[in-house]
């Protein structure tokens, strides 16, 4: 199962997403911002999936992911978007989304990684 890192300033979302993903068998770490995410990636370079807002308080998801991938090289990115947008990351999920949508996006991101 993928090791998932959630980066979101929304503590309620982090709590709910953590419960959903852990119930599905994922190992989950949830942090409020990119600084904490960087520490997690340094300490756990085997993290495999990053779930992050496409345009969050820490900047664009692709910029944050680029910095984190220096330490977790196999990190795949699931961007949370507010609407249709250009594809960023390995997968995306558009708000509002369900638990199944999030799980499918993580599966898709991991499948993308395996096909390369």
pLDDT of 30 = 98
pLDDT at position 89 over 70 = yes
**H-helix or E-strand containing 101?**
helix 99-115
Name the phi and psi angles at 96, rounded to 5.
Answer: -75, 145
| Structural domain boundaries in the chain | 1-15+24-81
Confidence class of residue 115 from pLDDT cuts 50, 70 and 90? low
Q: Which residue has the tokens 């300033």?
A: 9
Range with the poorest average pLDDT among 25-34, 37-46, 84-93:
84-93
Mean pLDDT of 71-99: 87
- Give pLDDT, residue 102: 97
CATH topology of domain 1-15+24-81: Rossmann fold (3.40.50)
pLDDT band at 114 (very low <50, low <70, confident <90, very high): low
Can you tell me the distance from the alpha carbon of 59 to that of 10, in angstroms, rounded to the nearest whole number? Answer: 15
């Amino acid at each position: 199962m993928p090791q998932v890192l959630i980066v979101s300033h929304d503590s309620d979302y982090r709590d709910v997403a953590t419960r959903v993903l852990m119930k599905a068998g994922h190992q989950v770490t949830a942090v409020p911002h990119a600084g904490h995410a960087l520490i997690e990636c340094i300490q756990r370079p085997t993290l495999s999936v990053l779930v992050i807002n496409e345009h969050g308080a820490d900047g664009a998801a692709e910029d944050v992911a680029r910095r984190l991938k220096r330490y977790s090289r196999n990190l795949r990115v699931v961007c949370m978007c507010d609407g249709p947008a250009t594809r960023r990351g390995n997968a995306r999920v558009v708000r509002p989304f369900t638990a199944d949508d999030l799980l499918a996006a993580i599966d898709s991101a991991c499948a993308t990684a395996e096909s390369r």
